[in-house]
Structure 1
Amino acid sequence: MQELFTGPKREASLTVTHKYGPCFQSNKDQLLVLNHTELLLQDQSRVNSIHSMFSKNSDGNKLRESQATTIPAKSGLSIDSGNYIVTVGLGTPKTDQTLAFDTGSDLTWAQCKPCERQCYKQVDPIFDPSKSTSYTNISCPTPLCTQLTSSTRETTTKALQWHCRVARPRSRPSFPCATSRSKYSQFFSYCLPSTTSSTGYLILGKGSEISSSLKFTPMLTLSQRQSFYGLNLIGLSVGGQRLSIPTSVFSTAGTIIDSGTVITRLPPTAYNALRTKFREMMRNYPMTSATSPFDTCYDLSKSQSVSIPSISFFFGGDVSVDLGEVGILYVLRQTEACLAFAGNSDPRYITIFGNEQQKGLEVVYDVAGERIGFRPGGCS
């Protein structure tokens, strides 16, 4: 197993960057639209996959309550990803590897030599275990190896699982599990940058005292899908007005938070209420044609300034999260923007709190404490 971090530090930090951030070369509006289209199509495919995971299990929709390293988070453009990315040093001496930053996936993995059959092209040099003094081979079958999927073993990639849950501590060969008690105490946080020109961070561990402005809500564990972090979403507001949505609308399938899904998906009833109120408050701006998955888009070419209704999420534990403007409108081009939410096609599909709505927030995962915290202005 490769060593990602060494030394006595209780905190590790990585920089987080947006896909269309500093590394994006083109300023052409049309190319941006094409990239947005591709990103949104990929996002829908991801959502379909997540929904499929839960529909396969009768218990899949049931929820129950359940010192540091900072890593820069960057744009995913260089690896053709719509997600945010981080760069880590793998091995000794280190080889920089660009990884998609995704709290909703099981594995953190990198291609490594020999990659003779199913390898793909990448910008970073492929990790060579033979040149790392800290590398140790894991032979199959062993407990660590057999917990990885057969498809992962067959592609000769060395995989490290990202998730380590309280329900089964240190039960998987994951990086957080291996370091959770000795180094990072089952604690991590991040902030996704609000603009393409700014950066955020991913911090492994708790390097200082927890800010008093953080609002914590109970972390829920999905009984059949422990790869995901659950939230108890109970309501929404638009323009400061609480929407009349029964809490059962959200509890039917449950809610997860996912840094790898771009657009928040809501139950049909909740989304319809949100859309209706938002359109009412935006009636002074002309609507334009829909762009999937969006159905509420506006032509802002004749508007010198735009007054956007506020939107807030309400979670269990008396926690409210107010979105910044970047989490409310998704800008397709300079003069066109859409309500940055979509409705699920079936009320039985799980709600997903996506990364567009997490921008600019400090999001804290206190896994040992079974809670998730939110704080505005987290990237500054």
Structure 2
Amino acid sequence: MSSSERAIIFFTLCIFYSFTFTHSKTTFLDVSSTIQKTLDFFTLNQSSILNPILHQQTNSSSLSFNLHSRSSLHRPHYNDYKSLTLARLHRDNIRVKSLQTRLNLAIRGITHSDLKPIETDSNLETPVISGTSEGSGEYFTRIGIGQPAKEVYMVIDTGSDVNWIQCSPCADCYQQTDPIFEPSSSSSYSPLTCDTVQCRSLDVSECRTGDCLYEVSYGDGSYTVGDFVTETISFGRMNQVNRIAIGCGHNNEGLFVGAAGLIGLGGGSLSFPSQIKASSLTYCLVDRDSDSASTLEFNSIIPPYAVTAPMLRNPKFQTFYYVNLTGFMVAGEEISIDRSISEIDGDGEGGVIVDSGTAVTRLETAAYNAIRDEFMKGTKGLKRVNGVALFDLCYDLSMMKSVNVPKLGFVFSNGKVLDLPAKNYLIAVDSVGTFCFAFAPTTASLSIIGNVQQQGIRVTFDMGNSLIGFSVNNC
């Protein structure tokens, strides 16, 4: 065969494979492997995260730590996978209601102080853990608090701003994996006075002999109350940031079982990235049923191969990160969504946020129905079964080892498309082969891209350039 003939064959194959993989309307779902993971979930090796791994620095200003699923941190109290799924979905509903309530209060100019009080610049990277065993969708990171540093697991949350940790003495503390933090053991512990900028930035604060007290409630019955202070936050043995405003909670209640507290990653002034003046926030959420690790980073750049989308901010509520989502691709068909869904109006209503704490993506009902119905067209050969909890489109795949399902992706206002892996939208809800379409409708004005759809995708919030980057298979 001549060189010219080989070149023609090579060129033809390139066109064929390019067309096949770029224009395919379906994608592969490994059914048997997914079912096996649900069975293996209850035998995860928890020892893998007891000693978090410090990742190698990529440059002189970078720092990286492990990020894990909560299932590997705290053994679940369920005997079967379906019970765990139902508990997760129940917790997720509470989370979504809480986010919507907080946004509604902000839009109406109501702060938590108007409610009835509760009576009771370096590139930093840290570990994140998936939090699902107690029914929550949070992820966790391990950091050091104080000097000398006491390492603890902390919830990470892009939907809130105030950082806090449970502190001794406890008037009321929930169960956590690590010992309760003892302020007297830290030389860097320093109370904030009431006239400080940090104290005045709180939604709810009070004074006690000149020192600042804080209160944060989450709308789902969870809350934390205590002293507002500054402390040293450590990342590994050699890296730390000083004087970070953090709540020292003596009275805490809620579904934070396992973690010592919360690191707020939102866009408000008291969030951790805002306090360290980070130019960007990056995380990659590992499989919620996995004991593997990924990373949480600050000041890293969006990879050149990432799918980027414009990031929007709500002038009424700075905490949330909004993405300019305009539609979906389903089996090669573009489905546009109404502009009122994707855009934030003058009153702060509407818009789509990317949230680390919400599990299932919520879409306005008409948009959800259109996407679901288009997906159903490509699954007519699959056996339908009754819905499960908030999922109304479910299938019995118990007799299949694998299946091709309609490809699904997010379409952004700049025309770019983020194709999702099939496992990010058709998920197992039990161990006997029931899989459900992992989106849900909402009548609220706020739409949410949840962490099920984000799993295995490195998400970068580039505050300086108002972009969100999505890098598939980059954990």
In the alignment, the residues of structure 2 paired with residue 378 and residue 188 of structure 1 have an alpha-carbon distance, to the nearest angstrom, of 15
Deviation readout 1:195-247 (Å, 9 max, x if unpaired): 524322111222xx642102322211112111100111101011222125444
1:328 and 2:429 aligned: no
Gap runs ≥5 in structure 1: 1-7, 61-66
**Alignment partner, residue 5 of structure 1:** none
In the TM superposition, residue 302 of structure 1 has moved relative to its aligned partner by: 1.5
In the alignment, the residues of structure 2 paired with residue 157 and residue 99 of structure 1 have an alpha-carbon distance, to the nearest angstrom, of 18
Q: Are the counterparts in 2 of residues 266 and 351 from structure 1 also a CA contact under 8 Å?
A: yes
In the alignment, the residues of structure 1 paired with residue 380 and residue 194 of structure 2 have an alpha-carbon distance, to the nearest angstrom, of 62
In the alignment, the residues of structure 1 paired with residue 302 and residue 95 of structure 2 have an alpha-carbon distance, to the nearest angstrom, of 33
Deviation readout 1:281-315 (Å, 9 max, x if unpaired): 11111111111210001111122222221110011
Equivalent in 143, 164, 186 of residue 109 of structure 1: 164
**Alignment partner, residue 265 of structure 1:** 362
TM-score (norm 1): 0.84
Equivalent in 166, 186, 202 of residue 279 of structure 2: 186
TM-score (norm 2): 0.68
Query: Percent of counterpart pairs with the same letter?
Result: 33
Superposed CA RMSD in Å reads 2.6
In the TM superposition, residue 359 of structure 1 has moved relative to its aligned partner by: 0.7
1:350 and 2:413 aligned: no
- 5 Å matches for 1:228-377? 228-251=320-343, 253-334=350-431, 335-344=433-442, 346=443, 348-377=444-473
TM-aligned CA distance change 1:197 to 1:111, over 3 Å: closer
Deviation readout 1:95-144 (Å, 9 max, x if unpaired): 112111211112221112232x2322222111112111222221335332
- Tell me how many residue pairs correspond in the alignment: 350
TM-aligned CA distance change 1:110 to 1:157, over 3 Å: farther
Equivalent in 302, 305, 308 of residue 213 of structure 1: 305
Q: Are the counterparts in 2 of residues 79 and 123 from structure 1 also a CA contact under 8 Å?
A: no
Q: Are the counterparts in 2 of residues 265 and 343 from structure 1 also a CA contact under 8 Å?
A: yes
Equivalent in 199, 215, 218 of residue 145 of structure 1: 199
Equivalent in 177, 180, 202 of residue 126 of structure 1: 180
Q: Determine which structure has the larger strand proportion and give its number.
A: 2
In the alignment, the residues of structure 2 paired with residue 342 and residue 193 of structure 1 have an alpha-carbon distance, to the nearest angstrom, of 22
1:41 and 2:90 aligned: yes
In the TM superposition, residue 57 of structure 1 has moved relative to its aligned partner by: 5.6
Return 80-89 or 349-358, whichever deviates more: 80-89
Deviation readout 1:30-61 (Å, 9 max, x if unpaired): 5222121111101011111222233446579x
In the alignment, the residues of structure 2 paired with residue 45 and residue 56 of structure 1 have an alpha-carbon distance, to the nearest angstrom, of 16
In the TM superposition, residue 24 of structure 1 has moved relative to its aligned partner by: 4.0
**Alignment partner, residue 236 of structure 2:** none
Gap runs ≥5 in structure 2: 1-58, 110-121, 207-212, 216-224, 229-245, 248-262, 345-349
In the alignment, the residues of structure 1 paired with residue 132 and residue 472 of structure 2 have an alpha-carbon distance, to the nearest angstrom, of 26
TM-aligned CA distance change 1:55 to 1:368, over 3 Å: same
In the alignment, the residues of structure 2 paired with residue 78 and residue 296 of structure 1 have an alpha-carbon distance, to the nearest angstrom, of 24
Q: Are the counterparts in 2 of residues 21 and 197 from structure 1 also a CA contact under 8 Å?
A: yes
In the alignment, the residues of structure 1 paired with residue 192 and residue 308 of structure 2 have an alpha-carbon distance, to the nearest angstrom, of 39
TM-aligned CA distance change 1:257 to 1:244, over 3 Å: closer
In the TM superposition, residue 25 of structure 1 has moved relative to its aligned partner by: 6.7
**Alignment partner, residue 11 of structure 1:** 62
